[in-house]
Chains A and B, each alone.
Chain A
Amino acid sequence: MEWVILVSLALASLVFVTDPAPGPIRLRAQARNMDCEHISAQEAHQRYPGIIAAAKPRGDYVERRAMVCKERLMRPGLRVAQDDAILSRLEDRAAELVGVAMRPDLADRTWLVETHYPSGPVSAKIAFATKNALVQQGLAVSDRTPVLGVDDLDVITHMGPWQAYPAACRRYADTGGMGAGDALLAVVNLDPRETILHAGLCADGRWEWLQ
């Protein structure tokens, strides 16, 4: 009868398992859908007081760390893979792009944001996140979008991206679409196969690729 106890204990360990790794009760697809982060035991106690014990007053005998795993909201396959890759880290990407674009000589400009991405809704979200990130840096930001005439567009759309963006930047300055007090941060997806975003800066008619 002892084997009944042993099997019961083994089953109990499966039922109460908290390890997010794939195993008998968690498929690889489920494990892949988790977002995990390592945090300190102190932070884990503050976030989950009923689950993670606080450090003892004289310290713990072993160093404890916690790994917090959460299931992603959008399961794989629910949206286009490229969109999912961009959107799943949008806040970090926007902050990173703004960090690259910050320059002391442009601190008093009014910032405009332009995005070029294959999907319209995703493009709008990238612009939203970028504008918010700029405002959080204390910069003056406008919802205005500089426009070009039909003739300019006809020429520029026949150029490759490496020539088109500098040309558009020049025309913004020449046609008055952007004034001397404006700076434009363009967030661009150059290749529909890539999951990174490039950034370019347009100020005073000069274009500069940032990344």
Chain B
Amino acid sequence: MKRLFLALFLALFVVLAMGQAPPVWGATPVEQAQQAELDRVRAAVADQVQLTAYDLIDELVYGWVTEPVFPASTPVVLAGVTVPVGLGTGLQALVENHVAAVLAENPTTNIQLAHCPACTATVVQSGPEVTIVSRGLDNPNVLAEIGSATGRHALFLDIEAEGAWLVLRARITRLTPDLPIVWSHTIASSASTPPLLRQPGDLKSATQARAEYLDALRDRGPIAIPARFVIRTYAAPGDQGGVPPPPFLWLQTGVELGANESLAWTSSIVVGYSFIPQAYQGLMAQARISRLMTGRTRSHLRPDLYGFFGVSAISVWGAATGSFRTEKINADEILMDSVGDGPRTTFGAIQLGLDLRLGNRIGLAVFLETMPNLSDSRNLGDYIAVGTIGFQAIGTEVGVCF
């Protein structure tokens, strides 16, 4: 019976020492569901901090590249890696692998990762007075054998979530019975800072990476060639009104110019063409000025929203363009227009809109358009009227910038 209790006690001790919660025996379904939800949330947090943890390790190894701890290549045992309490061992394995990968890519650190089973294994040492059960690293006699023979050192890494910061602590200990700490360092990074995603073979300091990022912002060029696909729909008139124009599809291209390197102000001039067989054709020219509304510099990392003001000259012709008249039109007149080239109308328009830019390449815009010389047309209504100005058309556009 004594042996059974001892075995149970030892098993419980090992589980607790490994920092793992014992299985929830006899838990109710509600408790099991809560535990599952907790595990899911913890896994989500681990996913979020993984890249930041990698960044901190890159920064650590970059420090060793610029200022090596050892003058010559030295065997170092990766003795312990701990991750934020509560985030489990999956993240720990990822961090260990990343440390090994980055160190292998950077031999100039003079840190040569060494395998040391006796360091991390549980070692039992029996003597006439006492029996010691411990990790090899915690046993002075084991260390005396390991360290004196090979001159090895042990690297300990600890990553912890402290408020909004992820903190990496590292220390290197010489594996002799005195266990002196020969080097230590602490780095912190905010998890909301975008990860630098440095290449293992081309490490940079955070300052250099930031300078590269700012250079990329400045050097992306103030000129772009946009290509836009636009749909305009026109408001139906009220009671007793005529027939509104059909939706118009436009393809537009031109040039977009930034006022300065921050691209806070941009302007564009585009020409467009519209063609639906048997219905209408159209040509248009548009000038637009846009103002960045989210920040003062266009970002590479998050979407940017612009507000814009534009003016257009639009010329349309074909059977379906009869509605761009001020007089009321009916179905008979539309049928009559289908004979021959049909009517031709040229008018001006003013746009106000919002343009969402994604990754400096893709744009998604929505705008309201007013046509002053068609404001009293009986074939058009207003979607929105502000004072005496009515917006007769709503448009959406999807654009790609080259």
Contacts and interface: CB of A to CB of B under 8 A. Distances in A.
B164 A73 contact: yes
Given A73-B49, A78-B86, A79-B86, A142 B179 contact: yes
Given A49-B214, A78-B38, A70 B190 contact: yes
Interface stretch (A56-64, A87-95, A160-168, A193-201): A87-95
Contacts of B161: 72-74, 87-88
Contacts of A35: 163-164
Given A2-B386, A35-B163, A125 B82 contact: yes
The size class of the interface chain A forms with chain B is: 35 or more
Interface in A94-122: 110, 119-122
A28 interface: no
A211 interface: no
A70 B16 CA distance: 33
B85 A79 contact: yes
10 contacts: A50-B296, A88-B161, A91-B162, A128-B82, A129-B186, A135-B181, A135-B183, A141-B180, A142-B178, A144-B179
Given A79-B86, A144-B179, 16 more contacts: A5-B386, A50-B295, A50-B297, A72-B161, A75-B41, A78-B86, A87-B84, A110-B180, A121-B19, A121-B82, A124-B82, A129-B158, A135-B184, A141-B180, A143-B179, A144-B140
Contact of A132 (B184, B217, B294): B184
B86 to A, nearest CB: 4
Nearest to A37: B164
A91 B42 CA distance: 23
Nearest to B41: A78
A89 B163 CA distance: 7
B212 to A, nearest CB: 14
B115 interface: no
Interface in A66-91: 70-75, 77-79, 83, 87-91
Interface in B148-195: 156, 158, 160-167, 169, 171, 173, 177-181, 183-186, 188, 190-192
A29 interface: no
Given A70-B192, A142-B179, A142-B181, A87 B41 contact: no
A137 B297 CA distance: 41
B101 interface: no
B164 A71 contact: yes
A85 to B, nearest CB: 11
B161 to A, nearest CB: 4
A25 interface: no
Interface string B86-113: 1000000000000000000000000000
A128 B169 contact: yes
A10 interface: no
Interface residues of B, number: 55
A53 interface: yes
Contacts of B295: 50-51
B209 interface: no
B118 interface: no
Interface in A1-24: 1-2, 4-5, 16
B164 A70 contact: yes
Contacts of B184: 131-132, 135-136, 141
Given A128-B156, A131-B171, A73 B166 contact: yes
Contacts of A135: 171, 181, 183-184
B82 A78 contact: no
B84 A150 contact: no
A81 to B, nearest CB: 12
A132 B214 contact: no
Contacts of B49: 73
B45 A78 contact: yes
B4 interface: no
Given A2-B386, A90-B167, A121-B85, A70 B191 contact: yes
Interface in B123-142: 130, 138, 140
Contact of B169 (A77, A78, A132, A144): A132
A65 to B, nearest CB: 18
A143 B86 contact: no
A120 B184 CA distance: 22
Contact of B42 (A51, A53, A78): A78
Contacts of A121: 19, 82, 85
A91 B167 contact: yes
A91 B163 CA distance: 11
A51 B385 CA distance: 34
Contacts of B48: 73
A44 interface: no
Contact of A140 (B180, B185, B214, B386): B180
